[in-house]
Amino acid sequence: MKFGKEFLSQMVPEWQEAYLDYHNLKAILKEVSISRQPKAPDASGKLKRKMSLYRAFSGLTTQRNSPRKQDDAIITNIVHNGSEESYQSMFFMSSDRGGGNEVLFFRELDAEFNKVVRFYKKNVGELTVEAEELSKQMDILVALRIKVEKPDVASNDVDEPVDLAGAAASSTVNSINGRSTDCVLEGRSRFEITQEVETVDEEMEAKEGNSYSRKGSRGTTQTIQEHRPASLDLLPHVRVNIAPETPVSTLKYMVASSKAGLSYKKTELRKSEELVTRALIEFYQKLQVLKGYSFLNILAVSKIVKKYDKITSRRASKVYLEMVDKSPLGSTLEVTRLIERVEAVFIKHFANGNRRKGMDILRRKIRKEKHGITFFSGVFFGCAMALVAAIIVVIHLRNIFESTGRSQYMDNIFPLYSFFGFIILHLMMYSGNIYFWRRYRVNYSFMFGFKQGTELSHREVFFLSTGLAVLTLACVLSHLDMEVDLKTKRFEAITESIPLALLTVLLLIIFCPFDIIFRSSRFFLIRSAFHLVCTPFYKVTLEDFFLADQLTSQVQAFRSLEFYICYYGWGDFIRRSNTCKESKVFEAFYFVVAIIPYWIRTLQCLRRLIEEKNVMHVFNGLKYFSTVIAVAMRTGNDLNMGMTWRNLAAVSSVIATISGTYWDIVCDWGLLRRNSKNPWLRDKLVISNKSVYFAAIVLNILLRLAWMQSVLGFREAPFIHRQALIAIVAVLEIIRRGIWNFFRLENEHLNNVGKYRAFDSVPLPFDYDEMV
């Protein structure tokens, strides 16, 4: 793989604009190569400029750090403007053939390099502040551990505070041999500096051997005879800042007038430890990513200047890379020291001194693809196609479309199996979403909050969908086969119980507690679903409202579940008949199950309005509430309650359709921006082919209109059964939702990119007075 593609693949998606623009610099070098060819004009194509613009120094001053050697093409300079530094180079051979393009190359290279340095320094500063905050949180946590588990310890015993920022280590390193932290400038290697820091840290940890340690996560502790506990005087100044996790705790939190002080309970300690652990892991991974950012950009600079040397046969790379080594980007000492301090603190306080265990928790986990998944996905897909062909043959042999039992089958059996068809199609659309999210580097796993190493790939989701498809189609075929075979026709109870058995198997797989069939993902789904049930007592996160949006496209699946209960609970399923539509209870729940997903989204918008104070959530909530009214009116129309219901359904459906379509395209997708760089789209797009966005807009509008079919008089057709027509409309809505999913998450991804949000913001458990 060429470095350009490797460079792009290794980027943090949310930081993409902060990286060196290697592609643009490479394009300029291509122009340099063309302009240096014999009989070529002095400056070619679109990069042609007046030479007078580039003869001067690319910066603002002519101060030099070192004299120019005779064979060097450039000199470099570091300009100090207060606390800011800029790195600049000066090219001396602009009068040569193609010299204008070479000056432009170094000018662009300087601009890109300074952009990278500024971003790196900004992040180092933020991480240093965050390290100081985490140090205070660790001091409070250690003191709380002692108070909860060793309440008889005297409060005047003081331990050395946790110092993640490593200020003491930094000053010690700075004072060694009277040298500063910029030891690289004095010819010392980065390895020597790291070794020196490690030595200093080991000496400090030896002096801090009286600090508190704790074994495991269940509250058991080691003996602390040789340890001196942290100061307990700060605990009265601390208030708990733990978000409620259950509906009951949420109600208690809402009733409380202010944040409560510490209660010194084990549950409080456990929750605090979980939050601090997550914060340290997230902080550690930020450090690792920032260190990788530094390395990758230095490598890109090295590659591009060496490519320049190769094209022009000049000597510029050595001089330029010397300047890079003198920059903050060239010495990641601060980040390296922070990484080592976090490792030491985490291993000491959360891994009982076990380095292997601690590092296994801290390190980023990458899920490995398995060839078996790909193989069985193909096998299941082939089997599904074979079963479809077999079903078509059986239907043809029985001449079902012209048989007298056609309506009976469609009214009673078809809704039972169509439920699984809706789920299979939704899984396949989600598999396609994941494929395209990965292809266009949309960081879906971060935005959904998946635990590292547990997110499913598109192959695994496709494996699940094809596996369920094979199981469902096999049941359909066996159901039809038992009807054909006279020997098995007398087992009506067994025949008609096949769909119920299939549903039971599916529920057992979803709720299976054993570590099989992607348990982590199943439990993630169950947890999110429980949050929806308890809306609005949980904080609304992206994965929660995204799942609720998926459920709004599965209204017919909810109604199929309702039919399961009615058919097998009160229906005469052995004779393949039911009286569900004659039941007032069934009609009432026919309303309710259709409204529930939209009502959940309305409550989520209300919760977000209270927390975020954003008026946009009011309009979003009104949109879903209008859909609730429309669905209620449509349901009344479906139950043939009269012309009044039909007129109300038509008016409310038009309003809901227009508002929903507008919100999808303008708010959820961020498109139709009149003054954007891409007319009628948005400034940033992940797909280069703009026609894809316009096609998606048109498809969304058309598929939204299909949602209105029941109020436009197309509930019946001579060539198709009503249940089949309902299923087709439900399928179109699932397809629309699958298209919506990609562009919705693309827009969310670009919002994260614009704000450089590449990591979760973990709430810290303690608030404290400034004196702490």
What pLDDT score was predicted for residue 574?
76
Asked whether residue 762 is assigned to any structural domain, the reply reads no
The model's confidence at residue 259, banded by pLDDT at 50, 70 and 90, is low
3-state helix, strand, coil split of the chain in percent (to 5) is 65, 5, 30
Mean per-residue pLDDT over the chain, rounded:
79
Regarding whether 265 and 172 lie in a shared domain, the answer is yes
Q: What is the pTM of this model?
A: 0.80
What is 333-365 written as a DSSP string? HHHHHHHHHHHHHHHHHHSTT-HHHHHHHHSPP
Together in a domain, 101 and 185: no
pLDDT digits (tens, 9 = 90+) for 98-117: 667 788 888 899 899 999 99
More confident residue, 524 or 82: 524
- pLDDT band (50, 70, 90) for residue 716: low
Q: Which of 308, 339, 365 is the last residue of a domain?
A: 365
Please indicate, yes or no, whether residues 8 and 103 belong to a single structural domain of this protein: yes
The per-residue b/e assignment along 490-514, b for 16 or more CB within 10 angstroms, e otherwise, is eeeeebbbbbeebbeebeebeeeee
In a domain, 459, yes or no: yes
- Give pLDDT, residue 136: 87
Q: What is the pLDDT of residues 356-400, one digit of tens each?
A: 888 888 887 777 778 889 999 999 999 999 999 999 988 888 777
627 close to 557: Cβ distance less than 8 angstroms: no
Question: Is residue 306 domain-shared with residue 395, that is, in the same domain?
Answer: no
Q: How many whole angstroms separate alpha carbon 423 and alpha carbon 419?
A: 7
Min mean pLDDT across 291-295, 677-681, 703-707 is at 703-707
Average pLDDT over residues 279-297: 90
User: What does residue 238 show for φ and ψ, rounded to 5 degrees?
Assistant: -100, 140
* pLDDT tens sequence across 723-772: 888 899 899 999 999 999 999 999 998 887 666 676 767 777 777 765 44
Whether 637 and 666 share a structural domain? yes
Residue 198: per-residue pLDDT: 41
Q: Which residue has the higher pLDDT, 282 or 174?
A: 282
Highest mean pLDDT among 211-220, 308-317, 485-494: 308-317
Classify residue 506: in a domain, yes or no: yes
Q: Are residues 94 and 242 in the same domain?
A: no
Q: For 495-515, how does the pLDDT look when each residue is reduced to its tens digit (9 = 90+)?
A: 888 899 999 999 999 999 998
Shared domain check, 422 and 322? no
CA 748/CA 744 separation, integer angstroms:
6
Q: Do 109 and 149 share a domain, yes or no?
A: no
Note the pLDDT tens digit of each residue in 537-582.
Answer: 888 888 999 999 999 999 999 999 999 998 888 877 777 777 787 7
Burial label, 19 (beta-carbon count in 10 A; 0-12, 13-18, 19+): buried
Same domain for 663 and 575 = yes
132 and 70 inside one domain? no
Kindly state the average pLDDT of the residues 611-639. 85
> What's the domain range around 236?
124-365
User: Looking at the 3D structure of the chain, how many domains does it have?
Assistant: 3
Amino acid identity of residue 209, one-letter, is G
Helix axes 555-569, 414-439, angle to 10 degrees: 150
Q: State whether 191 and 94 are in the same domain.
A: no
| Residue 332 structure tokens | 């990641």
- d(CA 728, CA 450) in angstroms, rounded, equals 33
Question: pLDDT tens, 238-257?
Answer: 777 776 666 666 666 656 54
3-state secondary structure 229-263: CCCCCCHHHEEECCCCCCHHHHHHHHHCCCCCECC
Mean pLDDT of 297-319: 88
Inside any domain, residue 195: yes
**Same domain? 500 vs 444:** yes
Instruction: Answer yes or no: is 548 within a domain.
Output: yes
- From 116, 137, 166, the end of a domain falls on 116
**46-72: pLDDT as tens digits:** 444 444 443 344 443 344 444 555 456
Q: Given 312, 340, 365, which residue is the final one in a domain? A: 365
